[in-house]
Amino acid sequence: MNNHTVRRTLPMPRKDVIFEQMQGAYWYNCMDFLSGYYQFRMRDSDIKYTAFQTADGSFEYLVVPMGLSNAPATVNDGTRKLLKNLTDFRNSYFDDIYIFTQSRDLNAHLTAVGRVLSRLKANQFYVKLSKCNTDNAKRKMKLHLTPEQVQHFEQLKHRISATPILAVANLTKSFYVRMDTMAYAIGGVLYQMVEHGSKVVERPVAFNGSKYKGAEKTTRPMKKSYRQSCSGSSVEGVFA
């Protein structure tokens, strides 16, 4: 069937874009559709094309089966349309839903979660409870860390804030590009200047690099410098 299917030309979600949208949020929730693709019904006129035979007889899919070339695009587009007008505090990655709010008020976040759940309920969509991370918020659990755990936590915060771990881009600050080229490869980094304690340090946001191939290895230095500037533009274009 996939060989005769006209592909849907829809943009697929990018994890890095979703991650950037969460920048500055204080509360987060993630949800996963129960049985994923099987909550999206097939169009009646297309059900006959899903027919298959087994030892027990012939069957047809009434819901979107996994393995079809257009299944991911259909589910992604369906989820996006289902949750339209809620883009200020949520995003989706196929059948995964992310909810995030910047206010530290838990009630404000739970209100946002409630709006998403109400939309799902109204359209008879269901999430898998075992993959919802709302229990701690509902129970108002108090978490106590031992001195040893605090020490490990501080070390972890230091590690994830140090180079070369990528930082979350702050779209209100300036971006800088640094490129370098050598005999066999070219590379670059997109970074921002951020405050770290009493210092202002560089934090990498994105990396780009590639090896020279074939005739590129013998390219004159001037052409390599030109390619270096072009490669820098491609790094910068991630957040353009």
Of 91, 106, 139, the domain-final residue = 139
Judge if 126 and 19 occupy the same domain.
yes
Q: What is the DSSP letter of 152?
A: H
**128 and 32 in contact (C-beta within 8 Å)?**
yes
Domain extent, residue 226, equals: 156-239
Q: Is residue 145 in some structural domain?
A: no
The pLDDT assigned to 135 comes to 45
Evaluate the CA torsion angle 90, 112, 161, 167 in order and state its sign: positive
The per-residue pLDDT of the chain, averaged, comes to: 81
Instruction: Give residue-wise pLDDT tens across range 100-152.
Output: 988 889 899 999 999 999 999 999 999 988 777 654 444 555 556 788 888 88
pLDDT digits (tens, 9 = 90+) for 159-180: 766 656 677 788 888 999 888 8
Show which of 90, 112, 139 is a domain's final residue: 139
**Nearest in space to 185 (alpha carbons), one of 217, 231, 233, 225:** 217
CATH of the domain at 186: 3.10.20
pTM: 0.54
Total structural domains in the chain?
Answer: 2
For 47, the enclosing helix (H) or strand (E) is none
Answer yes or no: is 226 within a domain: yes
The residue among 106, 139, 172 that closes a domain is: 139
Q: Which residues contact 188 (CB under 8 A, 6 or more apart)?
A: 177, 178, 179, 180, 207, 208, 209, 228, 231, 232, 235
148 in any annotated domain: no
